Amino acid sequence: MLNISINFAVTFLATENRMASMLMNPIRSCSVSSSWAVRFGARSLSTTAQLQSQVQTKSKKTLARPGVKNIVLVEGVRTPFLLSGTTYADLMPHDLARAALQGLLKRTGIPKDAVDYIIYGTVIQEVKTSNVAREAALGAGFSDKIPAHTVTMACISSNQAMTSSVGLIAAGQCDAVVAGGVEFMSDVPIRHSRKMRKTMLSLNKAKTLGQRLSLIGSIRLAHLSPELPAVAEFSTAETMGHSADRLAAAFGVSRVEQDEFALRSHTLAKKAQDEGLLQDVISFKVPGRDIVSKDNGIRPSSMDQMAKLKPAFVKPHGTVTAANSSFLTDGASAVLVMSEEKALAMGYKPKAYLRDFVYVSQDPKDQLLLGPTYATPKVLERAGLSMSDIDVFEFHEAFAGQIMANLKAMDSDWFAQTYMGRKSKVGTPAMEKFNLWGGSLSLGHPFGATGCRLATTVANRLKKEGGQYGLIAACAAGGQGHAMVIEAYPQ
Amino acid sequence: MTTRTHVNYEVKGDVAVVRINDPNSKVNTLSIQMQKEMTEVMNEVWENNAINSAVLISSKPGCFIAGADINMIQGCKTPEEVTKLSQEGQKMFEQIEKSPKPIVAAINGSCLGGGLEFAIACQYRVATKSNKTVLGTPEVMLGLLPGAGGTQRLPKMVGLPSAFDMMLTGRNIRADKAKKMRLVDQLVDPLGPGLKSPEERTIEYLEEVAIECAKGIANKKISLRKEKGTMQKIQDYVMSFPFVRNQIYKTVQGKVMKQSKGLYPAPLKIIECVKTGVEQGPVAGYLAESQNFGQLAKTSESAALIGLYHGQVACKKNRFGTPEREVNTLAILGAGLMGAGIAQVSVDKGVHTILKDTTVEGLARGEQQVYKGLNDKTKKKSITSFERDSILSNLTGQLEYKGFEKADMVIEAVFEDINIKHKVIKEVEAVIPPHCIFASNTSALPIKDIAAASKRPEKVIGMHYFSPVDKMQLLEIITTDKTSKDTTASAVAVGLKQGKVIIVVGDGPGFYTTRCLAPMLAEAVRLLQEGVDPKKLDALTTGFGFPVGLATLADEVGIDVAAHVAEDLGKAFGSRFGGGNVEVLKTMVDLGFKGRKSGKGCYVYQPGTKVRDVNPDIGDILEKYKLTPNPSVSSDSEVQYRLVSRFVNEAVMCLQEGILNNPLEGDIGAVFGLGFPPCLGGPFRFVDSFGADKLVNKMRQYEAVYGNHFAPCQLLLDHAKDSSKKFHK
């Protein structure tokens, strides 16, 4: 394990940055979660029907509103999320996206021409496939008559893909849209320096041999040093990990709290994986390699092992380490979003309603990762719900410290009043409802693909646990954030 | 136990957290009270067996220790008293340095002078990487030296070259640079909003990190022996040769002499103290430091520089109170050098700025100037390219009066022609809201003449900026008897926001600064006519302490502007402003020798080279207007006093006539706007220290030769008659 964590740290250091994600969890949670696990185990033995009837009776009116179209999540799938540089290493982004699309086709059996539109989210773009949605759709065998576009909004890119789909359906433009996300960190565009690019572009235009030779002669050694993808927030030049460390310090989040949360994430993810709860994961035959059917970043360690790691960003006194941060991940996800009418007409049993959602943004320097804090009260207000109404929370875990900081911010009247212009705090999610099948820290975080994973997980957990309302929330680079309320589809 | 007001401590675990906080001031200074309480506290820390280490931290956001208490030093009567103060400081810091329990200085905000000397006596330094955290030894700017061990410890800590650089320039060093120089050991990032305000939490975080460091040092987990880089090792090795060190002393001494012309004793004494310490050991070094500190504190140069410091502080306050409305939108007419310069210092303070010109070319040039000014800052890494762009979003360039209806203030920087100014004021008043202030950036036209075209003269004021606006600190604000107090308050508030040092003067031709400069320039022209070479003229003026020679200054200002001003003021003030023949300047302008901007003036300017030759073509002009010098008043020294006495006499006359409100503003205006020798502290302090009677005698001597250009004014005569009369008490 030590070896592994060192490798892990190295990979992390070599490339991390500028992606973001998020998650939340409050209080030290190991003991809580174990008692919860017992309860959960017990629950899963009982029959689904029983559970659902219980829940349905104790609640809770539907969030359907007159005049607002009901939009449903029919199904969601994802490729296994793998540490970058592992089994997917030789693929291209659209290969992963294609696998997710094919998985969705297979799972839903939807005819390849029954979809009206396809939207994908991605963050680090492969320049050859800048509209990766289109390339993946064509390769997956969808009709070439289906338009496709690609969106980018840092770690909430696939959330944006989903809400764009909701928009298209709500506006009556489409009835069935596939949304998804993909990120491929095993290969990123590394460019020639600006000077070299300029020389090469001039070379194209040079007409005579003399002009060409003089251009070639102007190349200096310094021109040859490559330009790596920016590792920092463009506006502030600060890496995300560094910002997360400062955020944790600002909210007084200790190293131990962070390590405990990270351990919780890995432990819960392992359990969910072992119990077969991660049903959104499809098997993927990687060309030239074996069939991959499991996430490979889940590694419950021990507090002692984690305590040995050195801080990755703020040295020597920082608290964010490779082990309590999300790691660089390859993966893709896809969901089928439809109007309720259309889904029912096609004979589907939807998983959930996609209800209210919000996007927020704030100072990209000091509040880079506080998206969930800002988005949560807003979306709850829109839906007319309170924190205690929510049965299932899925927050994106960018860094354990970031989750803890968000939880503390959400629990602070002072913060709500001083920075959010609210009368009082929104409160914190109950930990026994929070990211129970692991999160980005353990499952992995392919930036562009995480949003769909969160939504599908909420839908699956609502079904499994018998809850009615779920909430997803995420932070993203640029100081942005997103939250969405999801309602279970009546059984 | 007596209650302490300035220094307190609490024990956290086995670490004493010593907090400094001067209850009577915004900044902490090493006052007598502070030092007394610090000694008490440190003794308790050393005696307490439960304490193994200590952290020294300030409770004031934005200030660690800003330096020694200047009033304490000025309060001393003799050099010996000051020397004793220095020795007490040395002793206290020696105890800190030799402390058996490690002491960590936790620095947030300014750590200057005595504050820095305190910090470097500690075993370890942690600093916040905030813009407000600056370290430095600014004593030299007050004509002093770091007198509490600084000249001895700094060279050991950062090496001779860096130590000299710090102590001789007095410049502020930001935290990240300080880390690279090994001046601080560890950096802490400033924090954003959390469960407390960012400032409060950042100090807490700094304290937490410093406590961990203190514990680490106490239990030997953190080593105080620093790993030296290869460059450092090479440098140390090279420095171990006495001849290398001697070469450094010589080079530094040479540089100082070249720049200061030997007019400033402090830099030379700093070199002497460092040299004594390095070559003869600490005992001799500390002694030299304290004695030289004592001597310097009682020099006229130090008094002059400290006077300027106090003056500068005073001129950074708004004595007219808070204006009724804040200026949020500022419109500037004319995107020339001045207009664009004013725009540059406004946009970066968050003021929405409209820059209007009449031609696309003029506007493009002006916008480019603002961009370049900001882009140069990104190159120096003082702002990021993102900040540059976001600052520039405050700038709107345009050719029409659109948006002026929202302007709170309009500053015109159009051509210096009263008819154009009148046209502009009428156009502007047709579009601005009633509360909007109209300010003119004229350098010589009386404001009341400009205001004559205004429907609302109470809203008209002069704001005279100096070129280049982003570099020159001074702003001269001119009020007429009709200008309302709120208009003045608002103009001062805008200037302060732009970071200016402000003097507020009465209206009249040339106001204060231009009016003082004009007679001196007239004298300079006469000297050229008498056959003094421009280079010689420059040498004589810089030799007196002016940072820029007069011939060079004329080129910078523009020969055309100088000719214009000389003619205007000559008409207004008559023969007192005579001397040189204005035709010399006019002929130069006719030939296109307008100064630096046209490539030729007194000198020839070629892009890419700093070497300038005297413009050979002015020889003919000067030949044509040649005058015969009178040997009795043409020695180098007499020439200097001819120039300076006319300047000073005019300044005193401005006070006499009520153009100036007080001598302090007169000194600040002359030094910060015109480069009057800082070591003399300004014209008024110069009269005090040189002696009004001596000056009058000299002027009488020149008057006998040249006539009433040198007639001393009544106020100067009054001071000459009564030696107890001083401009500065």
Mean pLDDT of A302-322: 95
Which residues in chain A are contacts of B189 at CB distance < 8 A? 242, 245-246, 249, 314
Output phi, psi for B455, to 5 deg.
-80, -15
CB-CB neighbours of B33 under 10 Å: 18
- pLDDT tens-place string over residues B524-552: 999 999 999 999 999 999 999 999 999 99
What pLDDT is recorded for position A54?
41
- pLDDT tens-place string over residues B363-395: 999 999 999 999 999 999 888 888 999 999 999
Please enumerate residues of A whose Cβ is less than 8 A from a Cβ of B: 234-237, 242, 245-247, 249-252, 314, 316-317, 363, 365-367, 405, 408-409, 412, 414-415, 418-419
Tell me which of B126, B188, B191 to substitute to probe the interface with A (most A C-beta atoms closer than 10 Å): B191
Arithmetic mean of pLDDT over chain B: 94
- pLDDT tens-place string over residues B92-141: 999 999 999 999 999 999 999 999 999 999 999 999 999 999 999 999 99
Alpha carbon of B188: minimum distance to chain A alpha carbons (Å): 9
Nearest C-alpha in A relative to B202 = A250
- Interior angle at CA B326, CA B321 and CA B327, nearest 5: 120
| Residues near B77 by beta carbon (within 8 Å), at least 6 away in sequence | none
CA B423/CA B414 separation, integer angstroms = 11
Distances (CA, A) of A364 to A232, A360, A479, B370, B385: 11, 12, 4, 26, 15
- In this predicted structure, the answer to whether residue A8 has a pLDDT above a threshold of 80 is no
CB-CB neighbours of A187 under 10 Å: 17
Q: Residue type at B559?
A: I
Cis peptide bond upstream of B468, omega within 30:
yes
Alpha carbon of B187: minimum distance to chain A alpha carbons (Å): 9
By DSSP bridging, strand B603-604 and strand B501-506 are unpaired
What pLDDT is recorded for position B414?
93
**pLDDT-based confidence at A45, cuts 50/70/90?**
very low
Percent of chain B at pLDDT exceeding 90: 86
What pLDDT is recorded for position A5?
38
Alpha helices in B574-713 (DSSP H): 582-590, 618-624, 636-656, 663-674, 683-690, 692-706
Nearest C-alpha in B relative to A235 = B386
Q: Which of B186, B194, B384 sits opposite A250 (nearest CB)?
A: B194
Cross-chain residue pair A249–B191, CB shorter than 8 Å: yes
What is the distance of C-alpha A161 from the center of its chain? 12
Cross-chain residue pair A363–B192, CB shorter than 8 Å: yes
Cross-chain residue pair A408–B195, CB shorter than 8 Å: yes
CA B506/CA B666 separation, integer angstroms = 12
Q: Which two tokens stand for residue A15?
A: 């490339």
**pLDDT-based confidence at A60, cuts 50/70/90?**
confident
What pLDDT is recorded for position A59?
55
Set A30, A155, A174, A452: catalytic member:
A155
Tell me which of A194, A238, A243, A246 to substitute to probe the interface with B (most B C-beta atoms closer than 10 Å): A246
What pLDDT is recorded for position A29?
34
Nearest C-alpha in B relative to A317 = B209
What pLDDT is recorded for position B522?
93
CA B644/CA B628 separation, integer angstroms = 21
What pLDDT is recorded for position B264?
95
What pLDDT is recorded for position A58?
45
What pLDDT is recorded for position B228?
73
What pLDDT is recorded for position B238?
84
Q: Residue type at B661?
A: N
- In this predicted structure, the answer to whether residue A18 has a pLDDT above a threshold of 60 is no
* Beta carbons of B333 and B428 less than 8 angstroms apart: yes
Nearest C-alpha in A relative to B212 = A317
Cross-chain residue pair A251–B195, CB shorter than 8 Å: yes
CB-CB neighbours of B131 under 10 Å: 11
- pLDDT tens-place string over residues B230-269: 877 888 888 888 888 999 999 999 999 998 899 999 999 9
Which residues in chain A are contacts of B383 at CB distance < 8 A? none
Please enumerate residues of B whose Cβ is less than 8 A from a Cβ of A: 186, 188-198, 201, 205, 209, 212, 384, 386
Which residues in chain A are contacts of B194 at CB distance < 8 A? 247, 249-252, 405, 408-409, 415
Set A30, A174, A452, A475: catalytic member:
A475
Q: Which two tokens stand for residue B89?
A: 């400081």
- pLDDT tens-place string over residues B578-623: 888 999 999 999 999 998 888 899 999 988 777 888 999 888 899 9
Nearest to A248 by CA among A233, A263, A234, A258: A258
**pLDDT-based confidence at B444, cuts 50/70/90?**
confident
Q: Which of B186, B193, B386 sits opposite A250 (nearest CB)?
A: B193
Which residues in chain B are contacts of A412 at CB distance < 8 A? 195
What pLDDT is recorded for position B431?
96
Cross-chain residue pair B194–A251, CB shorter than 8 Å: yes
Cross-chain residue pair A405–B194, CB shorter than 8 Å: yes
Nearest to A178 by CA among A238, A136, A222: A136
Which residues in chain A are contacts of B188 at CB distance < 8 A? 317
- In three-state secondary structure terms, B301 is helix
- pLDDT tens-place string over residues A112-156: 999 999 999 999 999 999 999 999 999 999 999 999 999 999 999
Cross-chain residue pair A235–B386, CB shorter than 8 Å: yes
- In this predicted structure, the answer to whether residue B329 has a pLDDT above a threshold of 50 is yes
Sheet holding B63-65, edge to edge: B63-65, B110-112, B134-136, B173-174
Q: Which two tokens stand for residue A296?
A: 């490979």
Cross-chain residue pair A418–B193, CB shorter than 8 Å: yes
Cross-chain residue pair A250–B192, CB shorter than 8 Å: yes
What is the distance of C-alpha B549 from the center of its chain? 19
| Residues near B395 by beta carbon (within 8 Å), at least 6 away in sequence | B343, B347, B353, B355, B367, B370
| Residues near B528 by beta carbon (within 8 Å), at least 6 away in sequence | B534, B537, B551, B580, B584, B618, B622
| Residues near A247 by beta carbon (within 8 Å), at least 6 away in sequence | A366, A367, A368, A369, A370, A401, A402, A405, B192, B194
DSSP state letters, B234-296: HHHHHHTSHHHHHHHHHHHHHHHHHHHTT--HHHHHHHHHHHHHHHH-HHHHHHHHHHHHHHH
- In this predicted structure, the answer to whether residue A47 has a pLDDT above a threshold of 80 is no
* Beta carbons of B52 and B17 less than 8 angstroms apart: no
Q: Which two tokens stand for residue B432?
A: 């601005």
Alpha carbon of A149: minimum distance to chain B alpha carbons (Å): 29
What pLDDT is recorded for position A131?
97
Percent of chain B at pLDDT exceeding 70: 99
Catalytic residue flag (residue A475): yes
Helix (H), strand (E) at residue A341: helix A340-345
CATH superfamily entry for domain A5-64+241-277+355-486: Thiolase/Chalcone synthase (3.40.47.10)
Q: Which two tokens stand for residue A104?
A: 């969705």
Cis peptide bond upstream of A111, omega within 30:
no
Q: Which two tokens stand for residue B68?
A: 């020694």
- In three-state secondary structure terms, B357 is coil
Alpha carbon of B378: minimum distance to chain A alpha carbons (Å): 13
Cross-chain residue pair B384–A237, CB shorter than 8 Å: yes
Domain residue spans of chain A? 5-64+241-277+355-486, 194-224
**pLDDT-based confidence at B225, cuts 50/70/90?**
confident
Nearest C-alpha in B relative to A364 = B192
Which residues in chain B are contacts of A320 at CB distance < 8 A? none
Per the model's pLDDT, the better-predicted residue between B226 and B436 turns out to be: B436
Q: Specify the residue for token string 């070319």.
A: B361
Nearest to B229 by CA among B125, B158, B126, B136: B158
Cross-chain residue pair A367–B193, CB shorter than 8 Å: yes
A346 - beta bridge partners? none
Nearest C-alpha in A relative to B389 = A235
Q: Which two tokens stand for residue A173?
A: 């433009």
Nearest C-alpha in A relative to B385 = A235
Alpha carbon of B106: minimum distance to chain A alpha carbons (Å): 14
Q: At what angle do helices B692-706 and B714-721 cross, to 10 degrees?
A: 130
**pLDDT-based confidence at A57, cuts 50/70/90?**
very low
What pLDDT is recorded for position A27?
33
CA B582/CA B563 separation, integer angstroms = 6
Tell me which of B55, B129, B188, B195 to substitute to probe the interface with A (most A C-beta atoms closer than 10 Å): B195
Candidate from B76-90, B555-569, B694-708 with smallest mean pLDDT: B555-569
Mean pLDDT of A189-212: 90
Q: Specify the residue for token string 């001397």.
A: B579
Q: How many CB pairs under 8 A join A and B?
A: 61
Nearest to B418 by CA among B426, B410, B430, B409: B426
Arithmetic mean of pLDDT over chain A: 88
Which residues in chain B are contacts of A408 at CB distance < 8 A? 194-195
Nearest C-alpha in B relative to A405 = B194
Nearest to B463 by CA among B505, B497, B499, B519: B505
Alpha helices in A119-181 (DSSP H): 132-140, 157-170
Set B429, B476, B650, B665: catalytic member:
B476
Q: What is the DSSP letter of B139?
A: G
Q: Which of B193, B196, B384 sits opposite A366 (nearest CB)?
A: B193
CA A482/CA B11 separation, integer angstroms = 45
Nearest to B483 by CA among B512, B513, B444, B450: B450
Mean pLDDT of A404-423: 97
**pLDDT-based confidence at A52, cuts 50/70/90?**
very low
What pLDDT is recorded for position B729?
79
What pLDDT is recorded for position B223?
85
| Residues near A110 by beta carbon (within 8 Å), at least 6 away in sequence | A104, A176, A336, A346
Helix (H), strand (E) at residue B45: helix B32-47
Cross-chain residue pair B198–A366, CB shorter than 8 Å: yes
Alpha carbon of B138: minimum distance to chain A alpha carbons (Å): 31
Percent of chain A at pLDDT exceeding 90: 78
Candidate from A34-38, B454-458, B719-723 with smallest mean pLDDT: A34-38
What pLDDT is recorded for position A122?
97
